[in-house]
Structure 1
Amino acid sequence: MSLTRELVRIIRTKPVSEQDLRWSAYFVLDTLSCALGALKTEPARMLKAVAPPETGDTARRAFYLGGIAHILEMDDLHRNSVTHPGCVVIPAAWAVAEERGMGGHAFLKAVLAGYEACCRVGNAVGKAHYRVWHNTSTCGPFGSAMAVAELIGLSDDQAVWALGNAGTQSSGLWEFLAAGAMSKHLHTARGAESGVLAAFLAKEGFTGADRILEGEKGFFAGLCPDPVPEAVTAHPDGPWELTRTSIKPWPCCRHAQPTIDAAIGLHAELGGATPARITVGTYQAALDVCDRPTPEDPYSAKFSLQHCVAIALMDGRVVQSSFDKEARARVAELRGKATVGKSPTIDAAYPDAWGSEVSVETTDGRKFNAVRRACKGDPENPVTDAELAVKARLHLTAGGMSGEEADRFIAAVNSLVEDRPVAELGLFRRGGEPPVARRRLA
């Protein structure tokens, strides 16, 4: 039996509890609020100009929502697979469920299935894959295809075809970071769209490779120098991978967040003392992506360990404005005191744990240290329902909703566990603006 066929079997025989549905709604709220919070950004304008959701087909709406969901860098993260599954899986599932008038239960189950496919494939790509390839973009189409397969009732054979054609569309290179380009939003947009297309084609009988993962000229052979194929089907009776996913508290690369967590803790301890030297010890993947001593734009700053540790130490918090021109100038001197390197202990624990060690020596000779093995927002240290609601409300109001509208939207998303029709939230009814159905969201 091929890996994709076994993956379909594992997903379709996995029980879904009421708590699993609640977890699914939790991540739907996080993803949708991140997407709607980005509506006023310039990348969102560009995506809408090319793929207007009010006039496009289902795949194009998934493209648009997938693109805007990743703009703020606040969407979720699955550590073992190093993927952001929500911004690919949920847009695809939402576009299909809304278009077809489906209820919340079917939608939330499809989201669970999509996360499972994306994360299990991501668990198997090996560490070297991430040095060149953006895992969310390469593994995401498997997740979006599986979610849509559940919603449109594909047979097992058709689901395998969908995954085969999702895999052959895998792409997404890290080169965009060197120029501070916007391609990362395209990665998630295409990841969502590709899965929709793959599933719809399979429904028509369009076949895909059964051995797309392990075949001689398949995904692992082409994209993965050190794959771990057995990880695709490991621990079939374990919890849903969605429940092992982290929520981001801060608007930047997830690799920088353990460092931020540690630095915010040190901010209070410093009591205003001036750092003379800052040392960050992390894992190699974080250095590969986030060793940027002199970021020259907001996006580069979000991928700079040096900037993130400096702004967190100085301000004791990190928000969207922490990466703008004024903030970068304000911490330039402090940022220059930061040295980043690999910690053998932290690196050995990756990717099961994404940690950081931060040390600060002050000008008066005192030394302060903080270690984070699990970051705020990880399953071991989760954000609470109230904290997620605060995060969602901030995003939704930034995107154009009033506070009252945001609260109603949050309640409506949570009510999907009661099988509320997805279309009642009206996400695409005015080209991606805040839902016009909000009067019905009481």
Structure 2
Amino acid sequence: MSLTRSLVHLVRDKHITEADFEWASLFVLDTLACALGALKTEPARILATVAPPARGDTGRRAFYLGGLCHILEMDDLHRDSVTHPGCVVIPAAWAVAEEHDLRGRAFLKAVLAGYEACCRVGMAVGKAHYRVWHNTSTCGPFGSAMAAAELLGLTGDQAVWALGNAGTQSSGLWEFLASGAMSKHLHTARGAESGVLAAQLAREGFTGPERILEGEKGFFAGFCRDPVPAAVTAAPEQSWQLTRTSIKPWPCCRHTHPAIDAAIGLHSELGGAEIARVTVGAYQAALDVCDRPQPEDPYSAKFSLQHCVAIALKDGRVDQASFDAASRSRMAGERPKVALSVAPGVDSAYPRSWGAEITVETADGRKLHASRREAKGDPENPVGPEELSVKARALLLDGGMAAGEANALIGKILALPTDIPVRDLELFAPGRAGEAAPPLARSA
């Protein structure tokens, strides 16, 4: 049996508990709040101008929402696969469920299935893949296709075809980081749309390659120098991968979060003392992506360990304002004090554990140390429902939503396990994003 067919069987054989449905609703809340919170940004304006989704164009609606989800760098992260599954899977599932007027539990079941497929393929690509390829973009289409396949009621063969044609659409390179380009938002937009398209085609009998993963000219052969094919179907008895996914408390690359968490912990100990030197021990992948000593724009600052650690130590917090021009200027003299290196113990634990070690030397001769094996938001140190609601509310208000409407939307999303219609969410109802209706509503 092919890996793809085995993956479909594994996903469809997994038991779903009420707790799983509730967890899924929390991740839906987090992802949709990240999307709606980005509506006032320039990338969102461009997405809406070039690709305004019309009601009835399910793939394009998934594209638009998928692009929005990843703009603020606040969406979830699955450590073992190094993917952001929510920003690809949830837009695809929402677009299909909304188009076909499906209900909450079917939607949440599809979300669980999509996370499972995306994360399991991501765990199989090997560490080298991430050095060039953006795992969310390459592995995400498998998740969006699996979610759409569940909602469209595809047979086993059709689901295999959908995953096969999702895999052949995989793409997404890290080169955008060199200039701080907007490509990352296109990665998630395409990842969501590709899976929807693949599932729709499969429903009509459009075949796809069954051995897309392990075939001689398949995904592993083309994209992976050190694949681990067995990871696709390993430990089927594990809890759903969604429940093993982290939620972000800070609006920057997840690789910076363990160091931010440790630095915030040291802030009060410093008591405002002048910092002479900071050493950060991390894993190699964090340095590959986030060694940026002189970020020149907000986006590159979000991928700078030097900036994130410096401002966390100085301010004791990290928020959207931490990356603006004023904050970057304020940290210009602090970032050079931050030295990065690979810590062997931290590196060997990655990707199972995303950790960091920080030592701060003060001008008056003190040495302070902190380490994290799990950052705030990881399953071992989770963000609770109330904390997540606070995060979601702040994002929705930033996106232009009135407080009453934000509270109502949060309540509806958390009520999805009671099987309310997905259309009740009215994500892009006129006026929700401020004075003008957002692009999706205007085109509907």
| Structure 1 gap ranges (5+) | 437-442
Question: CA–CA distance in 2 between the matches of 1:166 and 1:256?
Answer: 30
Q: Structure 2 counterpart of 1:379, which letter?
A: P
Question: CA–CA distance in 1 between the matches of 2:150 and 2:431?
Answer: 26
Residues 76 and 247, structure 1, Cα contact 8 Å, conserved in 2: yes
1:379-421: CA deviation from partner (whole Å, max 9, x where unpaired): 0000111110110000000111111111111001001010000
Q: Which residue of 1 aligns with 2:302?
A: 302
Secondary structure of 1:340's aligned partner: strand
Q: Which residue of 2 aligns with 1:129?
A: 129
Structure 1 residues 102, 346: CA separation in 2 closer, same or farther (over 3 Å shift)?
same
| Structure 2 gap ranges (5+) | 439-444
Q: Which residue of 1 aligns with 2:26?
A: 26
Question: CA–CA distance in 1 between the matches of 2:161 and 2:431?
Answer: 32
Secondary structure of 2:401's aligned partner: coil
Structure 1 residues 431, 208: CA separation in 2 closer, same or farther (over 3 Å shift)?
farther
The aligned runs of 1:310-325 (5 Å cut-off) are 310-325=310-325
Q: Which residue of 1 aligns with 2:6?
A: 6
Secondary structure of 1:389's aligned partner: helix
The aligned runs of 1:31-430 (5 Å cut-off) are 31-55=31-55, 57-430=57-430
Residue 52 of structure 1 deviates from its aligned partner by 1.3
Residues 75 and 84, structure 1, Cα contact 8 Å, conserved in 2: yes
Residue 53 of structure 1 deviates from its aligned partner by 2.6
Tell me the number of residue pairs that the alignment of Structure 1 and Structure 2 aligns. Answer: 436
Structure 1 residues 401, 432: CA separation in 2 closer, same or farther (over 3 Å shift)?
closer
Question: CA–CA distance in 2 between the matches of 1:60 and 1:427?
Answer: 15
Question: CA–CA distance in 1 between the matches of 2:115 and 2:354?
Answer: 20
Residues 53 and 431, structure 1, Cα contact 8 Å, conserved in 2: no
Q: Structure 1 counterpart of 2:35, which letter?
A: A
Q: Which residue of 1 aligns with 2:441?
A: none
Structure 1 residues 208, 252: CA separation in 2 closer, same or farther (over 3 Å shift)?
same
Residues 412 and 425, structure 2, Cα contact 8 Å, conserved in 1: yes
1:285-330: CA deviation from partner (whole Å, max 9, x where unpaired): 0000000000000000000000000000000000001001000000
Question: CA–CA distance in 2 between the matches of 1:433 and 1:271?
Answer: 41
Q: Structure 1 counterpart of 2:354, which letter?
A: W
Question: CA–CA distance in 2 between the matches of 1:209 and 1:229?
Answer: 17
Question: CA–CA distance in 1 between the matches of 2:56 and 2:155?
Answer: 27
Residues 51 and 61, structure 1, Cα contact 8 Å, conserved in 2: no
Residues 43 and 71, structure 2, Cα contact 8 Å, conserved in 1: yes
Q: Structure 1 counterpart of 2:242, which letter?
A: L
Q: Structure 2 counterpart of 1:10, which letter?
A: L
Residues 249 and 377, structure 2, Cα contact 8 Å, conserved in 1: yes
Moved more, 49-58 or 129-138: 49-58
1:162-203: CA deviation from partner (whole Å, max 9, x where unpaired): 000000000000000001100000000000000000000000
Secondary structure of 1:196's aligned partner: helix
Residues 427 and 433, structure 1, Cα contact 8 Å, conserved in 2: no
Secondary structure of 1:332's aligned partner: coil
Question: CA–CA distance in 1 between the matches of 2:347 and 2:235?
Answer: 24
Residue 368 of structure 1 deviates from its aligned partner by 0.2
Residue 432 of structure 1 deviates from its aligned partner by 8.5
Residue 51 of structure 1 deviates from its aligned partner by 1.6
Q: Which residue of 2 aligns with 1:440?
A: none
Residue 55 of structure 1 deviates from its aligned partner by 5.0
Q: Which residue of 2 aligns with 1:17?
A: 17
Question: CA–CA distance in 2 between the matches of 1:87 and 1:375?
Answer: 21
Residues 54 and 60, structure 2, Cα contact 8 Å, conserved in 1: no
Moved more, 420-429 or 220-229: 420-429
Secondary structure of 1:175's aligned partner: helix
Q: Structure 1 counterpart of 2:149, which letter?
A: A
% of aligned pairs identical? 73
Residue 429 of structure 1 deviates from its aligned partner by 4.7
1:76-133: CA deviation from partner (whole Å, max 9, x where unpaired): 0000000000000000000110111100000000000000000000000000000000
1:211-261: CA deviation from partner (whole Å, max 9, x where unpaired): 000000000000000000000000011100000000000000000000000
Q: Structure 1 counterpart of 2:136, which letter?
A: T
Secondary structure of 1:75's aligned partner: coil
Question: CA–CA distance in 2 between the matches of 1:429 and 1:262?
Answer: 41
After TM superposition, the runs of 4+ consecutive aligned structure 1 residues lying more than 3 A away are 428-436
Residue 54 of structure 1 deviates from its aligned partner by 4.0
Residue 347 of structure 1 deviates from its aligned partner by 0.2
Secondary structure of 1:79's aligned partner: coil
Q: Structure 2 counterpart of 1:36, which letter?
A: L
Question: CA–CA distance in 1 between the matches of 2:79 and 2:431?
Answer: 33
Secondary structure of 2:359's aligned partner: strand
Residues 405 and 432, structure 2, Cα contact 8 Å, conserved in 1: no
Question: CA–CA distance in 2 between the matches of 1:363 and 1:15?
Answer: 57
Structure 1 residues 430, 160: CA separation in 2 closer, same or farther (over 3 Å shift)?
farther
Residues 21 and 105, structure 1, Cα contact 8 Å, conserved in 2: yes
Secondary structure of 1:336's aligned partner: helix
Residue 50 of structure 1 deviates from its aligned partner by 1.4
| TM-score normalised by structure 1 residue count | 0.97
Structure 1 residues 353, 263: CA separation in 2 closer, same or farther (over 3 Å shift)?
same
Question: CA–CA distance in 1 between the matches of 2:364 and 2:403?
Answer: 46
